Structure 1
Amino acid sequence: MTSRAERKYRVATAFQRRVGNPLLRRMPFQTLLETTGRVSGLPRTTPVGGRRDGDTFWLVSEFGERSQYVRNIKADPRVRVRVRGRWHTGTARLMPDDDPVARLRSLPRLNSAAVRAIGADLLTVRVDLDG
C-alpha cells in the first residue's frame, strides 16, 4: 500500500471507529453487518452501505481484506445483516474477481461515492441470505 493510501486508511478508520460508526449504529434504519469477532468470539456490528437483491445482499469493502469485518468473515462467514430495520442471517462470501467499481454503480449512490473517495483497496462482498 502506498504511503498516501496508508494515510487514507489510518485517517478513515480512526474517524469511523471513534465517530462515524458509533453514531450510525444508533440510527434505526441504517444497514448493519454483524460478524463474529475472530479473536473475541463476540458480535461485531458495522454500519455498511449495500443493497438487497432477492436473497442476496451486496456491499463493497473500502479497504478490502484490511477491513476488520472482512477479516472476521474470513474466520467465520456466518453473518447477520439488518436491512430496513429487519435482521437476516446469511453466509458472506468475498468476491475478489468481481469488479467493485462496477458493483458500486448498482448500490446506494451516497455510500458508493464515499467508498470510491475514501477506499484504497475495494473488495466486493456477497451475502447469501437464508430463506
Structure 2
Amino acid sequence: MPRHNERKYPIVTAFQRPFNAVMRRLPTQTLLETTGRTSGLPRRTPLGGRRVGDSFWLVSEFGERSQYVRNIKADPRVRVRLRGRWHHGVAHLLPDDDPIARLRGLPRVNSVGVRAMGAGLLTVRVDLTD
C-alpha cells in the first residue's frame, strides 16, 4: 500500500468512529451486522450499497483492513438491514471484481466518499437468504 494511503487509514477511521455511532441509530440507515471474530458479539457497521435481486453489493473502502471484512473472513454469516428490515445472508469477498466499476452501479454519494477516502478497495457480495 503506498505511503499516502497508509496515512489515510488512521485519519479516516478516527473520523468514522463517532460518525458511525450516530449513523447506526438512524432507522433507515443500511447496516451490516457481522460477528466479532474475537468477542463473538454482533458488530454493526453503517454502509452504502445496493440490493440487486437476492444479493446486496458493497465496496469496502479499506479492503481486508476493514474490521467488518476481517469479521467476514472469520464467519461469513451476516445480516443486512435494508429500509428498516433485517435480512440474513452469507458474505463473499470478491478480490477479482473491479471495485471502481462496481462503485459506478452503487449509490452515488456513498461511492464518491469510498473513492475519496478509501485505499485498497474490495468488493463484497452478500447473498441474502430471506
TM-score (norm 2): 0.98
Secondary structure at 1:81 match in 2:
strand
Q: Deviations over 1:34-54 (max 9, x none)?
A: 000000000000001000011
Secondary structure at 1:107 match in 2:
coil
Q: Does 1:130 align with 2:109?
A: no
Aligned to 1:97: 96
Secondary structure at 1:57 match in 2:
strand
Alignment of 1:3-82 (within 5 A): 3-17=3-17, 19-82=18-81
Distance in 2 (CA, whole Å) between partners of 1:101 and 1:88 is 26
TM-score (norm 1): 0.97
Distance in 1 (CA, whole Å) between partners of 2:108 and 2:82 is 16
Aligned to 2:108: 109
Distance in 1 (CA, whole Å) between partners of 2:52 and 2:62 is 23
Report the Cα offset of residue 20 of structure 1: 1.2
Runs (4+) of structure 1 moved beyond 4 Å? Answer: none
Q: Does 1:85 align with 2:99?
A: no
For structure 1, the residue ranges without an aligned partner over 5 or more in a row are: none
Secondary structure at 2:19 match in 1:
helix
Report the Cα offset of residue 2 of structure 1: 2.2
For structure 2, the residue ranges without an aligned partner over 5 or more in a row are: none
Distance in 2 (CA, whole Å) between partners of 1:5 and 1:106 is 24
Report the Cα offset of residue 3 of structure 1: 2.2
Q: CA RMSD in A?
A: 0.7
**Matched pairs, number:** 130
Distance in 1 (CA, whole Å) between partners of 2:2 and 2:115 is 17
Percent identity, aligned pairs only, is 75
Q: Deviations over 1:2-40 (max 9, x none)?
A: 2211111110011112x2110110111000000000000
Q: Deviations over 1:55-113 (max 9, x none)?
A: 00000000000000000000000000001110000000000011100000000000000
Match for 2:41: what amino acid? L
